[in-house]
Amino acid sequence: MKLSKKIFRRRNLLQGLATLATNPHVGNFASGKLYTGSLKRGCVPGLNCYSCPAATGACPVGAFQAVVGSSSFKFSYYITGILILIGVMLGRFVCGFLCPFGWFQDLLHKLPTPKFSTKKLKALTYLKYIIMIVVVWLLGVFIVDETGMSMPYFCKYICPQGILEGALPISLVRPSMRTAFGSLFNLKLATLIVVTILSIIMYRPFCKWICPLGAFYSLFNKLSFMQLNVSNACIGCGKCEKICPMDVSIYKGERERECIRCGDCIEACPVDAISSTWSCFKEDKNNSLECREGE
């Protein structure tokens, strides 16, 4: 099934709707209370803090760490299974369209300031895989207290989404919480400020270099049902590479791990050689269909 260009042209709107769908309990911002209904047991696709008053579901990274950090489990098959399903269905389309923190960075980058390329910093993209394996998983397995419990190291020490969606809005309506803020809050706030500044002048630094969820979904970009296809009409002009905010050379390889399916390359292509499909089949450059199982 070929996807319409309108989907990509309306990406900002779809990102906003996805953020609202993930955080529908907006009235809770006025009270500072969290939604605690049964839906909170499930995970949302993108990076969205459990402690956000409006959140209807759990963050998959936080949920994974909660299970790994318990005394009974060292690996979360349930949550990993959900993420694998999402990854196979969509790949990093989640990052481009469904992640609230990705949208936050996109909005920041629209501010009219000088912009800087990250092409020479590609080596930093591997950092998020180290964070995914070491911080999200291994630290929770091997660094435990006397009861066998561990803390969510990524959520507690690295992720700025908790401050943005949780601590800051709650502290505005519950001043008593501010007395509990200490060095850890200052560290997380500093992280948020740095990510915010970098997001203004560079495109999605958190997604490129830090996010373990993006790292996980990237592993499925080569086999996900959601794909970008480059046909033989491609003239190799390189316009798609120049415009790609994720520094991907889509005409050299359609299934790059860093591609978030934003669709900028589709709009930039002068010969309409790039298209997007959602199918259990892949389309080769001769426009013939080949089952993915044959790969």
Q: 3-state SS string over the chain?
A: CECCHHHHHCHHHHHHHHHHHHCCCCCHHHHCCCCCCHHHHCECCCCCCCCCCCCCCECHHHHHHHHHCCCCCCCCHHHHHHHHHHHHHHCCHHHHHHCHHHHHHHHHHCCCCCCCCCHHHHHHHHHHHHHHHHHHHHHHHHCCCCCCCCCCHHHHHCCCHHHHHHHHHHHHHCHHHHHHCCHHHHHHHHHHHHHHHHHHHCCCHHHHHCCHHHHHHHCCCCCCCEEEEECCCCCCCCHHHHHCCCCCCCCCCCCCCCCCCCCHHHHHCCCCCEEEEECCEEECCCCCEEEHHHC
pLDDT tens digits, 68-92: 888 677 677 889 999 999 999 999 9
Whole-number percent of the chain with pLDDT over 90: 77
Average pLDDT estimate for 47-51: 95
Of 75-79, 139-143, 196-200, 275-279, the range with the highest mean pLDDT is: 196-200
Q: Across the chain, what does the average pLDDT equal?
A: 91
Q: What's the average model confidence in pLDDT over 153-181? A: 90
Confidence of residue 281 (pLDDT cuts 50, 70, 90): low
Report pLDDT for 254. 67
- With cut-offs at 50, 70 and 90, classify the pLDDT of residue 228: very high
Specify the domain boundaries for CATH 3.30.70.20 within the chain.
Answer: 226-278
Average pLDDT over residues 225-237: 93
Max avg pLDDT among 73-87, 212-226, 244-258, 279-293: 212-226
- State the pLDDT at residue 36: 92
**Average pLDDT estimate for 199-226:** 97
Residue 154 Rama label (left phi>0; alpha psi -120 to 50; beta): alpha
What would the two tokens of residue 160 be? 């700025």
With a cut of 90, say whether residue 271 has pLDDT above it.
yes
Q: What is the pTM of this model?
A: 0.91
Q: Give the pLDDT confidence score for residue 180 in this predicted structure.
A: 75
- Token digits for 118? 């990250």
Q: What is the pLDDT of residue 76?
A: 78
The pLDDT value given to residue 10: 96
pLDDT for 199: 98
Determine the average pLDDT of the residues in 202-209. 98
Mean pLDDT on 197-209: 98
The rounded distance, in Å, linking the Cα atoms of 119 and 116 is: 9
Q: What is the pLDDT of residue 292?
A: 46
Q: What is the pLDDT of residue 69?
A: 83
- Identify the pLDDT of residue 282: 53
CATH T-level topology, domain 226-278? Alpha-Beta Plaits (3.30.70)
Mean pLDDT of 116-144: 95
- The CA distance from 239 to 241, in Å, is 5
- What's the rounded mean pLDDT across residues 277-287? 62
The two most distant CA atoms of the chain are separated, in Å, by 64
**Average pLDDT for residues 7-34, to the nearest whole number?**
96
Stronger pLDDT, 70 or 180, i.e. the higher one: 70
